[in-house]
Amino acid sequence: MSRPLTLLLVRHGQSEWNAAGLMQGQTPHVPLTGLGHEQAAAAAEELARLQPGALLSSDLLRAVQTAEHCARTTGLTTVMTPALREQGYGDLEGRPSRELWDVVDWNDPHWAAAGGESLAELHGRVEAFLTHLCAEPPADVIALVTHGDTIRAAQAVAAGLGPDAMPVVTPHNGTVTRLEICE
């Protein structure tokens, strides 16, 4: 039996595309705004109080910049991984989110935009990552700097739910969500 792990899931601070209302997905180069840096610094302070023993991050710029705040504040070295990336939205990335309500089938976990990733694929990617993390944990408390849909997928996996039952609410930018896994 694996020992329980505590995950501290940090959603990156506000990015320029969050502020502009654009679909980001896995677009790699989108930086944080000034507010995003403030949110990242506040999340880093919260992490320091919670004392993680390892820090992993998505390799997308907005997460990397957030992880830099976390590394400075906690003294941990950041390990980057594409497994923590946001859901890929393919051809829809860079488009205004409000234009996509009639384009995206938000209720079908197997729907994907051209060149993108379905919620089922995201869920599978996150599940595989968490299974590996349970098998070879770098610490008992691990900070993961990542993205909203990835956090929702992790919450579903930890609760034993499939991609069709992922939480509806996405954590706000710069927040820390605590999750127990491997129990």
pLDDT at 130 over 50: yes
Task: Single out the residue of 33, 3, 4 nearest to residue 179, CA to CA.
Answer: 4
Task: Single out the residue of 135, 143, 154, 145 nearest to residue 173, CA to CA.
Answer: 145
- 54-72 confidence digits (pLDDT tens): 999 999 999 999 999 999 9
Q: Which residues are catalytic?
A: 12, 86
pTM: 0.96
Contact 25, 89 (CB under 8 A): yes
Three-state DSSP class for 57?
A: strand
- The mean pLDDT value for 113-123 works out to 96
Three-state DSSP class for 6?
A: strand
Three-state DSSP class for 54?
A: strand
pLDDT at 1 over 50: no
pLDDT at 14 over 70: yes
**% of residues, the chain, pLDDT over 90:** 91
Structure tokens given for 124: 């599978």
Contact 45, 143 (CB under 8 A): no
Q: What CA–CA distance (Å, rounded) separates 172 from 24?
A: 15
Q: Where are the domains of the chain?
A: 5-181
* H or E element in which residue 63 lies: helix 61-74
pLDDT at 2 over 60: no
CATH topology of domain 5-181: Rossmann fold (3.40.50)
